[in-house]
Amino acid sequence: MSTFKAVRVTQDGGKAAGVLTETTLDEIDAGEVVIASRFASINYKDALAVTGRGRIMTRFPCIAGIDVAGVVEGSSDERFKVGDAVFVNGFGLGVSHDGGFSERVRVPADWVIAVPAGMTLLDVGTLGVAGFTAALAIHLLEHNGLTPDSGDVLVNGATGGCGSIGIDMLARRGYHVVALTSKAESRSYLKELGAAEVWLRSELELGKKPLEKSQFAGALDSVGGEQLSWLTRSMQENGVIGAFGNAGGAELATSVFPFILRGVRLIGVNSNAPMALRQQVWARIATDLKPRNLDKIGFPIAIDQVIEQCERSVAGSVQGRAVVNYA
Ligand SMILES: NC(=O)c1ccc[n+]([C@@H]2O[C@H](COP(=O)([O-])OP(=O)(O)OC[C@H]3O[C@@H](n4cnc5c(N)ncnc54)[C@H](OP(=O)(O)O)[C@@H]3O)[C@@H](O)[C@H]2O)c1
């Protein structure tokens, strides 16, 4: 049986770490659909899993990678046939089931989505979980009344995957986007994606008042911690925050005042959404939310570079999205 490369996370003496290895189909998890991988992106969660910096894997050993895009190589499910262009985001992939940092992936057919018309494997591979999460967050904010006329929308962790793609999608929809970043050198990148303003974290006074200056109609939060706490205090009346990240911390220190005096809404965003919602959001990603700058956001790496790239991701020093190219 032919061998192929994969990044498998093992645990030794309580410490998890990714190892580049050779494996076979016999050694990876079961499922109805075998996919020959073409692209898989590095998400923050992958970086935590591969570096052992976060408790992500629910079992060891397990191949990392929470998303993958590729071509069906074999299927015992009638919904998919050999040669179909498909992708998988989340479910147990790269957490409890062998994941996308692998030249071949085998998954339950219920996890598989066909690449939408008008999109390529590279598009969905670059978007991955981060792109879906940004889109889901925007979808939920709009469901809660946000429109481009409501006011400014802040996107933090702006140079990251969710942040970059969120900016691109919001700008396409006509929103006035304020990008908040720690990277002064990324100003022009963020403007090219469509940010109307770029704010530097080092120049921002977060304040301590229960209610700060009323500034934003909407926000996409990748960071959590003190930035999310500040956001709750800085929203306009009826402002809506989509909270999905904890890159800067898991705490939330605020009071009830933003909620009871300004009607601020804090909306949780979980990318492991039911399939019907995924399909609905992917239909939007292929149309009115379709990013215009994925070529500027994604950059290719080889599977041999995944481990070192994950180290850069947990250090917060990456601009855009590293995409493993298996071709
Ligand atoms: N809820 C869900 O289902 C879901 C789905 C996807 C992602 N997430 C979460 O969303 C967050 C972003 O994911 P991602 O894949 O887009 O990550 P990413 O590409 O690694 O980007 C994270 C960005 O956050 C900022 N950052 C990193 N460390 C920081 C720190 N210590 N303090 C403040 N800012 C920091 C940096 O942006 P700047 O330098 O520009 O500030 C960095 O580029 C992660 O926490 C991830 O786990 C959750």
Mean pLDDT of 106-110: 98
Q: Among 106, 101, 102, 216, which Cα is nearest to 156's?
A: 216
Q: What is the pLDDT of residues 252-276, one digit of tens each?
A: 999 999 999 999 999 999 999 999 9
Residue ID of nearest Cα to ligand 1 atom 13: 44
Q: Answer yes or no: is pLDDT of 1 > 80.
A: no
- Looking at residue 86, its pLDDT comes to 98
Q: What is the pLDDT of residues 200-229, one digit of tens each?
A: 999 999 999 999 999 999 999 999 999 999
> How far apart are the C-alpha atoms of 217 and 221, rounded to whole Å?
13
158 lines ligand 1 (CB under 6 A): yes
Contact yes or no for 264/243 (Cβ under 8 A) = no
Q: Among 148, 256, 166, which Cα is nearest to 210's?
A: 256
181 lines ligand 1 (CB under 6 A): yes
In degrees rounded to 5, what are phi and psi of residue 266? -105, 110
**Amino acid in the structure at residue 238:** N
16 token code pair: 């998890």
13 token code pair: 């003496």
Strands 15-23, 4-12: pairing kind: antiparallel
- Looking at residue 320, its pLDDT comes to 98
Q: What is the pLDDT of residues 53-107, one digit of tens each?
A: 999 999 999 999 999 999 999 999 999 999 999 999 999 999 999 999 999 999 9
- Looking at residue 327, its pLDDT comes to 79
**CA pseudo-torsion sign 277, 278, 279, 282:** positive
Length of the chain: 327
Q: How much of the chain exceeds pLDDT 70, in percent?
A: 100
> How far apart are the C-alpha atoms of 51 and 289, rounded to whole Å?
33
45 lines ligand 1 (CB under 6 A): yes
Contact yes or no for 39/126 (Cβ under 8 A) = yes
CA distances to 142, 260, 264 from 238, rounded to whole Å, are 12, 10, 5
- Name the residue of 223, 297, 299 whose CB sits within 8 Å of the most ligand 1 atoms, as the mutation to test its pocket: 223
Residue 107's Cβ-count burial label (10 Å; 0-12, 13-18, 19+) is buried
> How far apart are the C-alpha atoms of 18 and 27, rounded to whole Å?
17
> How far apart are the C-alpha atoms of 293 and 59, rounded to whole Å?
36
CA of 23 to the centre of ligand 1 (A): 31
133 lines ligand 1 (CB under 6 A): yes
Residue 219's Cβ-count burial label (10 Å; 0-12, 13-18, 19+) is buried
223 lines ligand 1 (CB under 6 A): yes
Residue ID of nearest Cα to ligand 1 atom 44: 245
Q: What is the pLDDT of residues 186-198, one digit of tens each?
A: 999 999 999 999 9
Mean pLDDT of 226-234: 98
Q: What is the pLDDT of residues 30-47, one digit of tens each?
A: 999 999 999 999 999 999
* Share of the chain residues as helix, strand and coil, in percent rounded to the nearest 5: 30, 30, 40
With cut-offs at 50, 70 and 90, classify the pLDDT of residue 14: confident
Q: Which domains does the chain have, with CATH numbers?
A: 4-115+294-325 (3.90.180.10), 129-268 (3.40.50.720)
Mean pLDDT of 283-309: 98
Cβ partners under 8 Å of residue 143, min gap 6:
none
